[in-house]
Structure 1
Amino acid sequence: MVFSSRIAGGEHHCIDLANAQAALGHTVHVIGPAGSAIEHALDDRVRYHGLRLPLLRGLRVRRLTAKLGAEIVHGHLGPACKAAAAATGRARVGTLHVGYKAHHHARMDALVCVNSAQVGHLKDFDGMHRVIYNWAPERSSACCAAKATARTLRAELGIPASALVIGCVGRLHAAKGMHTLIEAFQRHAPAQAHLVLIGEGPQRAELEALRKDDPRIHLLGFRWNVDELLGEMDLYVSSSREEQFPLAILEAMRARLPIVATATLGAREMLDPARSAIVPVDDAAAMGRAIAMALEARVRDNRRPVEYDMDRYDRAGAVRATLGLYHDVLARQGVEMHDLAGLSVEDARG
């Protein structure tokens, strides 16, 4: 369950988890708002239920999950967890994509922590909890062929092959700190470098104004084929003011890009400071200096790929761990869940 009309990190995770569980043979339903883009990103084996109004959402969720005979109700992001808590008689699980908030999560039976620091904030929580890292969702033209652009990034934007390209992926919202990134880029990046922001959101007009008439800064909007776009970049910057576990950083790691990131909880846990630059939040000067140094190193290393240890962020392992948590919650409630452990890792990957 996730109540969002657009797709960002938490929504991508919900979609990919639902698709993986359906591929393993589970009966999976997703509840969200009517008309959401989420419906069209789900596997054909997953049924979507769109609620037209947010009124009495908890009551409607309780009735719908009872009608469906759901054993597990899994909420993603705060509003969905709050509604899932009303589904009494079901095992209620929530994922802390943003962080623990008692009014959203205290009544859940179990919580998935996406970083180890979150565990320390669960002192008043009586249910089960488990640290399960997210994984980088597949976002390429191969999996979203009808939605991907046909041209390469550089051809589309007129960027020379020799120019250095800095990328950032995320919702255009003040919490993502892209206004700081634009300032850092304009002050410190080489004159021939380009900055590409991928995403959509309420801060677009403000970012357009900050960009002014700088032809090197591109607001690309929402794109499905993030993997291909990252493949044409030279540096990834995560400028967020707060992140629990940024999927975009995982995508940049998978693309083997050097990374500059603000010192959020997620970035500090995911990145090795010896291999990536971690800078203070909202510090345009520090970010700009780190960007300049990273680009210098990129040229010096002849754009050599950066190798990251991705074993902790394995999709199949995380799906198995999530199903294991479901089993444990149901066992505590005296309910036996059908065991699909015999299916292979390839099945889990869908």
Structure 2
Amino acid sequence: MERMTLDLSRTLARRGDLVSITCTDTAGYLAGVAHRDGIPLHVVPPGRGGRGLLRHLRELRPDVVHLHMAPWLKTALGARAAGAPLVTTLHGVPENVGPMGLRSMRLAARATRHVVLVADSLSEWALERLRVAEHKVCTILNGIDVEEYAPDGPARDLRGELGIAGEAMIVGTVARLAPVKNQQLLIRAVAESRLPGVHVVLVGEGECRA
């Protein structure tokens, strides 16, 4: 999610749009990268009833508010007060959402111009559980700038570090090591394929790291 936010912000800034990032908790590593790229970053706790966020958006006066996993209803209220349409990207199905939380999300969805899904598998959650109007929903898969992750040296050197032969096939994934990412599916699929000499490389950090 942080990577997507940064990539999108940098792309918009390069084409001449004025972009700023607002965090409702801590900025984390976003702060250093955003500062390096000249993108303003604000840390604004929502405050009681979302007043802090509402005040910030009124002062900022954005043309569009794009939300990623922040307090949805409070952001929707702030965007409306600022006169800006709200676009929300759903990165997954939240866990342990009770009746009150679900009601809050449904109210926020009504005040949202567009809801973007990062995978088609989220459509049932958005359409049936959140009751988002179908014309508001679309799927945009996450993109990765592969040039940014191109190794500085020959690929053979990296293969050597991993103990993998130069001509061997590699199948890999770069993601958070967590059950929701389901790296087990990739491992099982490669095992069932019975292709000789295939190596699986998992890159990431998380609770499932051995």
Normalising by structure 2, report the TM-score.
0.69
AA aligned to 1:72 is: V
Shift of 1:154: 0.8
Among 10, 31, 37, the alignment partner of 2:22 is 31
- Gap regions ≥5 residues in structure 1: 1-9, 209-350
For residues 1-350 of structure 1, the aligned pairs below 5 Å read 10-32=1-23, 33-42=25-34, 44-51=37-44, 56=48, 58-77=50-69, 79-87=70-78, 88-90=80-82, 91=84, 92-98=86-92, 103-104=104-105, 105-114=108-117, 118=123, 121=127, 124-125=131-132, 129-131=136-138, 133-134=140-141, 136-141=143-148, 152=155, 153-182=158-187, 185=190, 189=194, 192-204=197-209, 208=210
Whose RCO is larger (CA < 8 A, sep 6+)? Answer: 1
For 2:133 and 2:195, locate their aligned partners in 1 and report how far apart those are by CA, in whole Å. Answer: 53
SS at structure 1 position matched to 2:62? coil
8 Å CA contact 2:46, 2:53 repeated in 1: no
User: 1:24/1:191 Cα in 2 relative to 1: closer, same or farther (>3 Å)?
Assistant: closer
Greater helix percent: which structure? 2
Q: Where does structure 2 lack aligned partners over 5 or more consecutive residues?
A: 95-101
Quote the Cα distance in structure 2 between the aligned partners of 1:56 and 1:128: 33
Count of matched residue pairs: 190
Could you tell me the percent identity over the aligned residues?
25
State the TM-score, normalized to the length of structure 1: 0.45
Q: 1:11 to 1:27 in 2, by over 3 A?
A: same
Cα separation, 2, equivalents of 1:30 and 1:86: 18
User: Which letter does structure 1 place at the counterpart of 2:113?
Assistant: A
Kindly report the root-mean-square deviation, in angstroms, between the aligned alpha carbons of the 2 structures: 3.6
Cα offsets for 1:160-202 (capped at 9, x unmatched):
1122212122211111122344455567645633210012112
Q: Is contact 1:112-1:130 (8 Å) kept?
A: yes
Q: Which is further off, 99-108 or 151-160?
A: 99-108
Contact 1:110 1:128 in 2 (8 A): no
